[in-house]
Structure 1
Amino acid sequence: MREKLRYALYRGAFGALSLLPFPLLYGLSDLLYLVMAKGVKYRRKVIRENLRNSFPEKSERELLDIEKDFYHQFTDNIVETIKLLNMSDRQADKRITVTGGEIVDRYINDGHPVVLYLGHYANWEWVPSVVRHFKAPEFCAQVYKPQHDKAFDRLMLKVRSRFNPVSVPQKQVFRSLVRWRNEDRKFIVGFISDHRSNLNVSHHRTTFLNQMTPFSPGGEEIGNRINAAYLYLDVEKTGRGHYHFTVKEICPESTEGDSPYTRRYLEMLEDTIRRRPGLWLWSHRRWRYK
């Protein structure tokens, strides 16, 4: 009963806010920015440590500008995610443009499922809208980590269902993808693969943003089992609430060795981050394990 009540409260609050036009939502975002950046100073210590270690060549002023850009994007992400509950197709097409969709269609038509890599960059919650720019896949799947708060988890699944993706819990990914492949289904699955990786369980490491970084090759290991093609989604912010997504092929110099596609993906993600660093999620503890 408590869970149902919490969900009703969450759904009511998010639903009401999602009805607001974008200018009012961005006004709310500006207020949230003052609270998060100037008031509670949300994870400021983590953010500053990550920035200093990632960009030792930048001045203190440059790092502070990146930090400011991060907080603005962070609060924009909050209101833009809420807006998904009442975001029309027309609004989505106006604010989200995509190039490279034909690459996905080509691989699908050639009999390959597609593993699409992306990072916590700009607004990743709007990424499922790319399915409107593909023709060949039967469906799009997204991998997610269930929230501890079951009522909020239920709400986020509702929000993330805006463009009808199949949401797959992390622990069920391998079984689901292998089953779909055996059933000869035509699908694309998105992996956000820049989470913290635990050195106690991950023996895969690379240099990422000037730091030795553990990573999980799970997406590639599963992809190899289902003969998948590996693609990367490059993201550009073209204006407030406007994004351009570009689908790119992941082409490692060699397919031999340890996780070549994952390593190349991380190189491509780093290039994206360096283009405009403030849009990445600096508040997560990517390098907790040294």
Structure 2
Amino acid sequence: MLRTHRRAPLLRTHPAGGMLLDAILQTTSRWPLDRLHGIARCAQPLVRATYRRRVVEDNIRYAFPHADSVRLVREFYAGASQAAVEVLRLLELPEAELRERVTFEGAEALDEGNAVLLMAHHGNLIWSICALSTVIAAPVFTVYKPPHVDAMDNLLLRLADRFGLTLVPANEIRQQVLKRRQKRPVWTLVADQRPGGRDRHTVRFCGRDTAFFRGPERLARAMKWPVFYLSCQRTAPGRYHCRIEKLADPPHDRGTVVEAYVAKLQEDIDQAPADWLWSHRRWRGP
């Protein structure tokens, strides 16, 4: 079943708490970004002290053994805190302002649809997906894994509804691709998480052998679609530039899409190391 917006308190497991949280988020989402960024700066020391500090430090030290890891860790938490409040602001941010804050290069290549667009947790993933849906002619279908936290899931559903996205749970992608192919959609997939199954391809990434999903590659091969990559770079607080590049045309040889994707992702991380989501348990150990 496609995920569509349901008007309900963000925290559905406890009605009273959900309505209170809903009211708080609806109020704070109307605040200007400068104020929200100020809150993020104030909260950053607490977030840095309590949220996956060891995972972040280990990942950054291994990936950049000769860099100033203390500085990179601090910059990561600053950027992550900033991105979090920016997502909250999307509940009320005017579409025109979003399009002014997120600029695109090469987006016209997606206007005709029937394409796979690979993305990563770099820059501001949610802002870039929502903005993309407002600037290309083709409908955007986004594959996602519904969060375990009801509040986050309902937030994503609201944002998708607001900006014209369709969210598709990962376990339904096969039937939905076949069902929706007449719409000539762009299928966006975030492909930098650790794969859970055996369908994986191992590539050298951030200094170690790393497994990546082959699902996006299999989709492109099955549908004979071209594959694109979206690079999202922060240019200033609350401002991003997205560049869309073609990774491969069909037919796709096994492993070529994954390897091209990882090469582009590594370029983005090398350019702005603190802007990737280092809090993911991407590797089982250094």
TM-score by length of 2: 0.89
What's the CA shift for 1:283? Answer: 0.5
Structure-1 residue corresponding to 2:47: 36
Gap change, CA 1:25 and 1:255, over 3 Å in 2: same
Match of residue 18, structure 1, among 29, 33, 50: 29
1:227/1:289 CA distance change after superposition, 3 Å: farther
Letter of the aligned partner of 1:158 in structure 2? Answer: R
Q: Is the 8 A contact 2:115 2:228 kept in 1?
A: yes
* Residues 12, 238 of structure 1: alpha-carbon distance in 2 compared, 3 angstrom cutoff: same
Distance 1:152 1:124 in 2: 15
Look up the equivalent residue of 2:92 and give its one-letter code.
Answer: N
Q: Is the 8 A contact 2:98 2:131 kept in 1?
A: yes
Residue 132 of structure 2 corresponds to which residue in structure 1?
Answer: 130
Match of 2:180 in 1: 180
What amino acid is the match of 1:102?
Answer: E
Residue 32 (structure 1) shift: 1.5
Give runs of aligned pairs for residues 38-187 of structure 1, distance below 5 A. 39-40=49-50, 42-56=51-65, 58-59=66-67, 62-105=68-111, 108=112, 113-127=114-128, 128-135=130-137, 137=138, 139-181=139-181, 184-187=182-185
Q: Is the 8 A contact 1:4 1:151 kept in 2?
A: no
What residue identity is the alignment partner of 1:129?
A
| Aligned residue in 1 for 2:269 | 273
Which residues of 2 match residues 155-234 of structure 1 at below 5 A?
155-181=155-181, 184-198=182-196, 201-234=198-231
Aligned partners of 1:156, 1:10: CA distance in 2, in Å?
A: 15
Question: RMSD of the TM alignment (CA)?
Answer: 2.0
Structure 1 93/155 Cα, relative in aligned 2: closer, same or farther at 3 Å?
closer
- Which residue of 2 is the match for residue 238 of structure 1? 235
Shift of 1:140: 0.6
The amino acid across from 1:36 in the alignment is V
State the alpha-carbon separation in 1 of the partners of residues 244 and 90 from structure 2: 22
**Alignment-mate amino acid for residue 166 of structure 1:** T
The 8 Å contact of residues 230 and 245 in structure 2, kept in 1 or not, is answered as yes
Separation in structure 2 between the aligned mates of residue 217 and residue 6 of structure 1, nearest angstrom: 40
Q: Is the 8 A contact 1:125 1:160 kept in 2?
A: no
The answer to whether structure 1 residue 285 and structure 2 residue 286 are counterparts is no
Q: 1:69 to 1:101 in 2, by over 3 A?
A: same
Q: Which 5+ residue runs of structure 2 have no aligned equivalent?
A: 1-11
Residue 258 of structure 2 aligns with which residue?
Answer: 262
Is the partner of 1:204 in helix, strand or coil?
A: strand
The letter for the 2-side match of 1:73 is: G
**Pair 1:142–1:6, CA change in 2 (3 A):** farther
Q: Where in structure 1 are there 5+ consecutive unaligned residues?
A: none
Alpha-carbon deviations, 1:123-180, whole Å to 9, x = none?
Answer: 1010121122223x1x111111112233442233113433110011111112101221
| TM-score for both structures, normalised by structure 1 | 0.88
Q: Deviations over 1:17-66 (max 9, x none)?
A: 101111111111111212112x42x211111111121122x14xx21111
By how many angstroms is 1:4 displaced?
A: 4.1
Aligned length: 273
1: distance between equivalents of 2:81 and 2:255?
34
Contact 1:7 1:155 in 2 (8 A): no
Decide whether aligned partners of structure 1 residues 237 and 2 sit closer, same or farther in structure 2, where only a CA change above 3 A counts: closer
1:230–1:261: 8 Å Cα contact kept in structure 2? yes
Identity %: 26
Is 1:250 paired with 2:247?
yes
